[in-house]
Amino acid sequence: MFIRLALILSALLIVVSFAAYLFTRDNRFLGFAWQVVRFILFALLVFGVLYLLERYGLAAWKVLL
């Protein structure tokens, strides 16, 4: 649920940033949108690694015990 909320909020931030850029032609809004994209990709990578660790690491730990 947290990931969905983060994706929806980030999509809204990106759309609003691009709209603000189109109205003002200020490059700060494009930079902000790029920062949001990088942060969301990093967060998804972290959650993906944690999921894989939980799925396979803890399952392997149970087998060994």
- The residue range of the domain holding 30 is 2-64
pLDDT value, residue 63: 63
Place of tokens 């999509």: 11
List, for residues 12-21, the tens digit of each pLDDT value: 999 999 999 9
Q: What angle do CA 30, 27, 43 make, to 5 degrees?
A: 25
Q: What token pair was written down for 8?
A: 């929806």
What is the model's pLDDT at position 61? 67
Tally of domains in the chain:
1
Residue 65, class by beta-carbon neighbours within 10 Å (0-12 exposed, 13-18 middle, 19+ buried)? exposed
The C-alpha atoms of residue 54 and residue 60 are separated, in whole angstroms, by: 10
The pLDDT value given to residue 1:
80
pTM of the predicted structure, to 2 decimals? 0.76
| Backbone phi and psi for residue 15, each to the nearest 5 degrees, phi listed first | -65, -45
- Which range, of 3-7, 12-16, 22-26, 45-49, averages the lowest pLDDT? 3-7
Q: pLDDT tens for residues 36-59?
A: 999 999 999 999 999 998 888 777
